């Protein structure tokens, strides 16, 4: 599965995702389009995978759980969505920065807003592990976002 680098915004989001699926030889179905449209509303916040499953069942009652979860996995593999697990719960968010596929996040613990962090700390860790080969990593920062601080959210 090979992600492509395209920067998208606004109305282009679904079209870019469809192009990525086509490039990776996936069939474009109305169910996949519906899932993309739903997920595209979650660019700045993660959503529980169970909520995606529930939404898809409301629209397509006959759609199996396996199909929904398989599509989520495929979307993640080709770089359309980002997936993470926190406290044992799988969550996803729509990936719209196809130019900077490799990035990290700051996640607000109050409102859940996700902000991209472009700097990668991998070089720092590689220097501490001479002779080792790092093949993957994941880096997230947690705290309170500027909006929540400004609004005084507790």
pLDDT by residue for the chain (154 residues), tens only, comes to 333 333 344 457 788 899 999 999 999 999 999 999 999 999 888 899 999 999 999 999 999 999 999 999 999 999 899 888 878 888 898 885 655 566 677 878 888 788 777 777 777 777 888 888 877 766 777 889 898 998 886 5
Give me the pLDDT at residue 141, please.
78
| Neighbouring residues of 35: CB distance < 8 A, sequence distance ≥ 6 | 52, 56, 68, 71, 72, 75
Give me the pLDDT at residue 154, please.
56
Q: Is 102 annotated in some ligand binding site?
A: yes
Give me the pLDDT at residue 3, please.
33
Q: How far apart are CA 50 and CA 119, in angstroms?
A: 31
Q: Is 132 annotated in some ligand binding site?
A: no
pTM above 0.85?
Answer: no
Give me the pLDDT at residue 8, please.
44
Q: What is the per-residue burial (b if ≥16 Cβ within 10 Å, else e) of 71-100? A: bbebbeebbbbbbeeeeeeebbbbbbbbee
CB-count exposure of residue 11 (10 Å: 0-12, 13-18, 19+): exposed
Give me the pLDDT at residue 86, please.
77
Q: Which of 111, 121, 104 is nearest to 147 (CA)?
A: 111
Domains with residue ranges and CATH for the chain: 12-94 (1.10.10.10), 104-151 (3.30.1490.190)
Give me the pLDDT at residue 5, please.
32
Q: Is 120 annotated in some ligand binding site?
A: no
Give me the pLDDT at residue 101, please.
60
Q: Is 148 annotated in some ligand binding site?
A: yes
Q: How far apart are CA 40 and CA 52, in angstroms?
A: 12
Give me the pLDDT at residue 7, please.
38
Give me the pLDDT at residue 54, please.
96
Q: Which of 92, 63, 51, 54 is nearest to 75 (CA)?
A: 92
């Amino acid at each position: 599965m090979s992600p492509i680098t395209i920067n998208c915004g606004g109305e282009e989001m679904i079209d870019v995702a469809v192009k990525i699926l086509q490039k990776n030889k996936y069939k474009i179905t109305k169910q996949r389009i519906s899932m993309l449209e739903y997920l595209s509303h979650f660019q700045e916040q993660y959503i529980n995978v169970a909520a995606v499953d529930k939404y898809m069942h409301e629209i397509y009652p006959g759609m199996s759980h396996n199909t929904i979860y398989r599509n989520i996995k495929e979307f993640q593999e080709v770089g359309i969505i980002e997936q993470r697990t926190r406290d044992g719960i799988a969550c996803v968010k729509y990936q719209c920065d196809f130019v900077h596929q490799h990035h990290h996040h700051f996640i607000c613990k109050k409102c859940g807003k996700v902000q991209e962090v472009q700097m990668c700390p991998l070089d720092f860790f590689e220097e501490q592990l001479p002779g080792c080969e790092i093949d993957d990593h994941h880096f997230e920062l947690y705290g309170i976002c500027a909006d929540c601080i400004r609004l005084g959210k507790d």
